[in-house]
Chains A and B, each alone.
Chain A
C-alpha cells in the first residue's frame, strides 16, 4: 500500500527537482522548488515524521521560498540561456565529474550495508507510542542539547552579520 503513495511522490520530487535546473525563468524555477518541498514533505509523512513534514512546509515553502521570490522579483533577474547552451567547457566537465562522483556515492550508500543495515532504538512503533513531536522535543533538549544550542548561536551570528552588512552604507 505504501508504494501507491511513495512512487508518485518520489517521481514528483524528481521531476520538480529536474525542472528547477531546466526551466529558464527564475520564478518558475523557484515554484518548481516549492513543488519539490511538497513532495519531500509527503515522503516524510509516509515515514510517520509528521512534525518534520509540516515544518518543511512552514519553513521552506512558506518562508524561505517566499523570500527567494521576493528577491527574484525585486532584482528582476533576466531569462538566462539554459546551462547546456552556454559554451563553457571547463565548467561542463567539472559538473559532469561531480555528477559521476555523486552517483557512485549513492550507489555505495543505497546498494550495500548502509541503508538497510542500521537500526536504532527509534522504531516506528516506539515513535507512534511516544508521539513524533514529543520525541523530537525531548531529544533536542537532552541528547542533542549542545548541537541544538550551537545551531542557535550560529543563526544569531548570521543575523548580526546581516545587520552589519545592511547598515554599512
Chain B
C-alpha cells in the first residue's frame, strides 16, 4: 500500500472507531438505565425522545453547562489533570482490538484493526494498569476524606485483580502461541477458547468487573459508605470524563473478553463486524445483569476473594493448561 493511502486509511479507521466509541459510551448509559429499570419493574428514562432515546444527549448538554467547582483546598494541577488521566487509557486501549476480517476495498486489502502490534495483549494490560492513576490522583487531589478513601481502595483493588486477570489469559496465550490479538482470533477458527478455557474465562470476567470498578466490586465509589468515593468533589465535564472513562473501560474489557474467549469477529452467515458487536454487547449486558443482581462485597471479602480464591485458581489453570499443551 502506498504511504499516503496508508495514512488516509489509518486516519479513517481511528476516526470511525473513536466516533463509535463515544457514541457507544453515551448510549451505554441509556442502555444500563433501561435494563436496570426493567429488572426493577419500572420504566427508566421515558421523557426525552421516544423511550428516552435522546436522554444521553440531554445529559451531555446538561453536564457541559453545569458549574465547574474546584474545592479551595484541592491540589489544582492534579485535580484538573486526573479526569484526563482516567479518560486517555480508556480510549487508547481499543487500538489493538480486531473488529473484523481483512476486507478488500478499492483494490487495497485493509485490516479491520487500527494496529496489529505483536505485543497487543501486553499493550492492553499496560494501558489498563495506568487507568488507576486517574482514580487515585483524583481522590487525593480533592482533599476530601471520602475521596481519598475511595482512591486508596481503588488502588488496592485494581492491583490485586490485575494480577489474576493477567494470569487468567496465560492459558489463552499458550494455546494461541502469540500475543497479537489478530493471531489469537485466528487461532480460534476451530473452537472458541471459552470451551477450552472455561475457568480462565470465568476468572477473566470476574477480574474485568473488578477492574472497571463496577458492582459488586464498586467499593471505590460505594454510595452508602463513601458518598461517591473518589469523584465526590468533581462536577460538570470533569465528572462526565470519569463517567465516560468508566463506560469506555467497560467496552474495552468486553471487547477483550470477546476477542480472547468468544472467537472475536468469527461467526457464520452475518458479516464479522456484526458478530463482533453482538458478542460485545452480550458481554456488556452480562455486566449490567450482574450489577442489577448482586450486592456489594465488603472490603475484606474482596481482598480475600482476590488473593485466596482467584489467584490460586488462575495458577492451577495455567499448570493444567501447560500439561495439556505439552502432552498434545
Contacts and interface: CB of A to CB of B under 8 A. Distances in A.
B129 A70 contact: no
Nearest to B140: A73
B129 A73 contact: no
Main secondary structure of the interface of B (DSSP, over half): helix
B122 A58 contact: yes
Interface string A97-136: 0000000000000000000000000000000000111000
A10 interface: no
B119 A133 contact: yes
B129 A58 contact: yes
Interface in B123-139: 123, 125-126, 128-130, 132-133, 136-137
Q: How large is the interface on B (under 10, 10 to 19, 20 to 34, 35 or more residues)?
A: 20 to 34
B148 A67 contact: no
Contacts, number: 68
A58 to B, nearest CB: 5
B130 A62 contact: yes
A63 B151 contact: no
Interface string B202-219: 000000000000000000
Interface in A15-65: 27, 31, 34, 50-51, 54-55, 57-58, 61-63
Contact of A51 (B78, B122, B155): B122
B155 A69 contact: yes
B162 A63 contact: yes
B179 interface: yes
A58 B123 CA distance: 9
B132 A133 contact: no
Q: Nearest 3 A-B pairs (CB), nearest first?
A: A62-B129, A57-B126, A54-B122
Interface of B: 75, 78, 117-119, 122-123, 125-126, 128-130, 132-133, 136-137, 140, 148, 151-152, 155-156, 158-159, 162, 179
29 contacts: A27-B78, A31-B78, A34-B133, A50-B117, A50-B118, A51-B122, A54-B119, A54-B123, A54-B125, A57-B130, A58-B125, A58-B126, A58-B129, A61-B129, A62-B125, A62-B130, A62-B162, A63-B159, A63-B162, A66-B129, A66-B132, A66-B136, A67-B159, A69-B140, A69-B155, A70-B156, A73-B140, A132-B118, A133-B118
